[in-house]
Structure formats: structure tokens, C-alpha cells
Structure 1
Amino acid sequence: MIDNSYKWYPLYTRSRAEKTTQEALAKKNIISYLPLKKAIKQWSDRKKIVEEPLLKSYLFVYISAKEYTEVLMTYGVSRFIYFSGKIASIPDKQISDLKLLLANATDLELIEYDISLGEKVLIKAGPFKGIIAELVSLKSKKSIVLRLQNIGYSIQINTSMAFIEPVA
């Protein structure tokens, strides 16, 4: 039996095609949601605030099962996201929460890793690039305390959580 109820489904789009894919879906009267964040872009002669996708190559569509094929035949759509062998669906509440979060966020930062206190991390960028340390505490999302290996000291570093990753 095919489920014909409407749900939110995540899509994977072609690289840098999120906005054009959303426009193509709108032309087909398919409801979609592209979470956008504001970012400052620097050129040689100016700075500009632009809106860019929060999740690169991701877009959400509100459809029923009978519209799967129509969505897949839309320019820019690569595939649906699967979880445990089935097309993943997102609860309405999570989409509403994401919209609310983005409406109120002034400095939102997405971190790809789930990093726990006590975990070994590698600093990927900035003046401390290449250092392996232990995450001791989070003062804020821009200020973290790391314990440096073999020194016995902890140091507070003002760096973005996006610049660290867990060490395997």
C-alpha cells in the first residue's frame, strides 16, 4: 500500500544548484523549503551580505508518494535521501523548528561532527592548525578550551567549532 499522506522529504541536489532546483520545483507547484543563512562575502573591492544554503546540496520537499517521480524528474534533483533502505521523511515539527531557528539566528554555524567533551580533536584551520588536543569545555561556539597533549595545560582558544574535527 502506498502512503499518500504529505510529508517533508530531504533531497540531494546537484552541487550549487539548490536555488535553481527550488525554482524548478515551484514551477511544478511542488512545495519546497531551502534553509538559507546570511553570510558576508568579501571581494577585492567590496563586501556583500548574501544568502547561501545552510545545508549544502540539500533541499526539503512537501509531497506525497505519488509525486516522487515528478520530483526526481526536476532539473537539479539528484536523489532522495535514504535511511535504513527507505526514503527518509522529516517530521513537520523539525521543519518548523528549523524555520524558527533560522528566523531568529544572527550568527548560526553548522558543525558537521558530534564532538563530546573529553574527545581528542584536530584543529583544521587558523594559527593552531595541525594541533591535536582534548576538548575540555565550550565557553561559547567561538571560544573553546583545549587540553594540549603531553604538556598538562589547558588553553582557551578563540576559534570556531567548525575549525575542529574529531580524531579517529
Structure 2
Amino acid sequence: MNTFFKQNPNWYAVYTRSRAEKKLHTLLVQKKVECFLPLKKTLSQRTDRKKTIELPLIPSYLFVRITEKEHFDVLNTPGAVCYVRFDGQPAAIPDEQIDYLRQIIINEPRDLTVQYDNFSRGDMVEVRSGPLKGIKAEVIQIRGKERLLLRFESLGYCVHVELPAEELMAYRELAAS
């Protein structure tokens, strides 16, 4: 058995088969495994109507909080492919990163603006006010004058977040305050 799983439960990202996230989530909940599937609401155009549907925020990813003895239970569940790995080991995700994702889901993205000239690609930022206060991320891309693509360190995944400039603070500003 690998030593990456500790006796205390940690969060790990499980890579799933395509479009199997919800089914895997249901099966793991039935097995009493603590898991989190971040979903986003989107409008789908049907031939006769528009329908709001929930899609995974991060396709093919499901987050599980497990101990060593639950390791194989998760992988032996239909729909699970493997654990997401960094440097050859399954990547433990800090509780705070999962909490950040939950905050994003609860507060749903808003159409707010960011002054793009305040931040550059590669800058580390922290949300200093508002419902996402305390979230730390890296600016990966600036899309136009009003949108930033942020990467959450431990997830290794990018999330589009639109925030007013006054809600973000660069790490270099944090050190000076």
C-alpha cells in the first residue's frame, strides 16, 4: 500500500469516466464515502423550451475524503478511473481548497469587473472581501478587461471568476500591509 494515504482522512481528486461524475457520486454516497461534486447551473436549449441543468464545474473530477482503508473502495466503484496525481503520487487537497470551491458554488459567479492592468499573468492574488474572502489563487489568463482565469494551487485546475478589483489583493501587497 502506498504511504500517501494517512490515517486521518484527506481530500483527493478522482478522475472519472466521461460523463460519469453524478453516477459515481451517487454510488460513493451509498458506500458512505464522503465526496463532493461541484455543479454549476446552465441553461440548455431544447427544441421546445429552455431548461436549467446542472453540469459538473470540473468535468471528469470528483473529490473524495478518504483514509487508507477506503482507497480501493473508491477505485473499485464503476466510473472511477484513477486518482489525480502530481509528481507520481495522488495529490492531497487541503480542506480550504474544497471550501473555496464550495464558496464559489454557493455564491455563483457574478457579472463583476476587474481592472486588468492591476494584475499580470502569474500574479498570486487573494480575495480580500466579499463572499469569496480568503481564497488564494494564481492569475493564469486575463480575458479582456473584465475577466480573470484563476488557478487554485492544490487542485491544478482553473476556474473562471469575475470579481471587482477592490476584492482582490496581490500577494506582494499582502507582504507590505
Q: Secondary structure at the match of 2:48?
A: coil
Alignment correspondent of 1:82: 85
Alignment correspondent of 2:39: 36
Could you tell me how far 1:96 is from its partner in structure 2? 0.5
Amino acid of the structure 1 residue aligned with 2:60:
S
Alignment correspondent of 2:52: 49
CA distance in 2, matches of 1:8, 1:39: 27
Give the TM-score, by structure 1 length: 0.65
Amino acid of the structure 2 residue aligned with 1:23:
T
Please state if 1:6 is matched with 2:9. Answer: yes
Please state if 1:140 is matched with 2:152. Answer: no
Q: Secondary structure at the match of 1:51?
A: strand
Give yes or no for contact 2:6–2:67 (8 Å, CA) kept in 1. yes
Q: Is the alpha carbon distance of 1:137 and 1:56 closer, same or farther for their aligned partners in structure 2, counting shifts above 3 Å?
A: closer
- After superposing on structure 2, the runs of 4+ consecutive aligned residues of structure 1 that deviate more than 3 Å are 135-138
CA displacement 1:6-28 (0-9 Å, x = unmatched)? 00000000100000000000111
Please state if 1:72 is matched with 2:75. Answer: yes
In percent, how many aligned pairs have the same letter? 40
Aligned residues: 120
Q: Is the alpha carbon distance of 1:102 and 1:136 closer, same or farther for their aligned partners in structure 2, counting shifts above 3 Å?
A: closer
Q: Secondary structure at the match of 1:139?
A: coil
Alignment correspondent of 2:117: none
Give yes or no for contact 2:121–2:142 (8 Å, CA) kept in 1. no
Give yes or no for contact 2:38–2:102 (8 Å, CA) kept in 1. yes
Q: Is the alpha carbon distance of 1:45 and 1:139 closer, same or farther for their aligned partners in structure 2, counting shifts above 3 Å?
A: same
Larger radius of gyration: 1
Alignment correspondent of 2:98: 95
CA distance in 2, matches of 1:85, 1:24: 27
CA distance in 1, matches of 2:109, 2:142: 26
More helix, by proportion: 2
CA displacement 1:76-127 (0-9 Å, x = unmatched)? 101111110111110000101110111101459xxxxxx939xxxxxxxxxx
